[in-house]
């Protein structure tokens, strides 16, 4: 059976459509860190398990999309008593809400490898709009370039019901939590 000229023309037209390439997250070279203050003292923690679906074209950021899922049960600060409390209902409520998520709505280029990524962050079933300013840097040859994405933003933990009951006292644990990202990606086009 031979393909018809119409079928060939359709396949060629589809192949020419611009599609944002799918990038790969390198988890072993990436991190999501959170910093809160407990009685005024900064406490740093991290999420050890997360994944991302990224289709990012630096030349066309408006056509790009980014989705993250974070295993809330992987949160820890390295202090065993606290790490045992974090999955419980008063904090991340992992049994009911095993994942947090982020879905981009718009990505805006600012120049010089900088972008604002706006989207919906959902934790414990509560969603908030956030904007994450990020910087991208590349190393290696164009065909195998590694892209490092760094950024940070601040959330209010009480908006997501993180730290309920007696833990709503912001003198004990501050409401503002800084989230810092360092992500390593493969497959990103030239900046």
User: For the segment 30-89, what is each residue's pLDDT rounded down to a tens digit?
Assistant: 999 999 999 999 999 999 999 999 999 888 999 999 999 999 999 999 999 999 999 999
User: What integer pLDDT is reported at residue 144 of this predicted model?
Assistant: 67
Across residues 122-145, what is the average pLDDT? Answer: 89
Q: In a 3-state reduction of DSSP, which class is residue 87? A: coil
Residue 142 confidence (pLDDT) = 64
**Looking at the domain 19-186, which fold is it?**
Lipocalin (2.40.128)
H or E element: which one contains 65? strand 65-71
Q: Please report the pLDDT score of residue 2 as a whole number.
A: 44
Does 3 have pLDDT greater than 80?
no
pLDDT at res. 170: 96
Reported as a pLDDT band with limits 50, 70 and 90, residue 187 is confident
Handedness of CA 152, 33, 62, 146 (dihedral sign): positive
Question: Which burial class, exposed, middle or buried, applies to 2 when counting CB atoms under 10 A from its CB (0-12, 13-18, 19+)?
Answer: exposed
140 or 167, higher pLDDT:
167
pTM attached to this predicted model: 0.84
Is the pLDDT assigned to residue 10 strictly greater than 60?
Answer: no
Check residue 79 and give its pLDDT. 94
Is 179's pLDDT higher than 80? yes
Q: Measuring CA to CA, which residue among 191, 181, 182, 180 is closest to residue 139?
A: 191
What is d(CA 1, CA 5) in angstroms, rounded to the nearest whole number?
A: 13
Q: Provide the pLDDT confidence category of residue 135 given band limits of 50, 70 and 90.
A: very high
How many whole angstroms separate alpha carbon 107 and alpha carbon 99?
Answer: 23
Q: How far is CA 21 from the centre of its chain?
A: 18
Torsion of the alpha carbons at 21, 22, 26 and 27, rounded to the nearest 10: 150
Percent of the chain with pLDDT over 70: 87
Is pLDDT of 19 > 50? Answer: no
Q: Where do the structural domains in the chain lie, given as residue ranges?
A: 19-186
What mean pLDDT is predicted for residues 99-127? 97
Structure tokens at 45: 């923690």
């Amino acid at each position: 059976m031979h393909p018809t000229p119409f079928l060939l023309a359709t396949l060629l037209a589809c192949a020419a459509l611009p599609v944002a390439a799918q990038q790969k997250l390198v988890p072993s070279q990436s991190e999501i860190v959170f910093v809160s203050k407990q009685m005024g003292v900064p406490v740093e923690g991290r999420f050890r398990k997360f994944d991302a679906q990224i289709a990012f074209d630096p030349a066309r950021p408006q056509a790009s999309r980014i989705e993250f899922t974070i295993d809330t049960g992987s949160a820890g600060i390295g202090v065993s008593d606290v790490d045992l409390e974090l999955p419980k209902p008063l904090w991340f409520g992992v049994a009911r809400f095993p994942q947090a998520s982020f879905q981009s709505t718009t990505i805006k280029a600012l120049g010089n490898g900088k972008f604002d990524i706006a989207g919906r962050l959902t934790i414990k079933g509560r969603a908030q709009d956030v904007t994450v300013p990020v910087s991208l840097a590349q190393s290696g040859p164009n065909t195998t370039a590694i892209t490092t994405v760094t950024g940070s933003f601040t959330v209010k933990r009480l908006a997501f019901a993180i730290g309920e009951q007696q833990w709503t006292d912001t003198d004990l644990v501050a409401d503002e939590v800084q989230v810092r990202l360092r992500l390593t990606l493969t497959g990103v086009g030239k900046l």
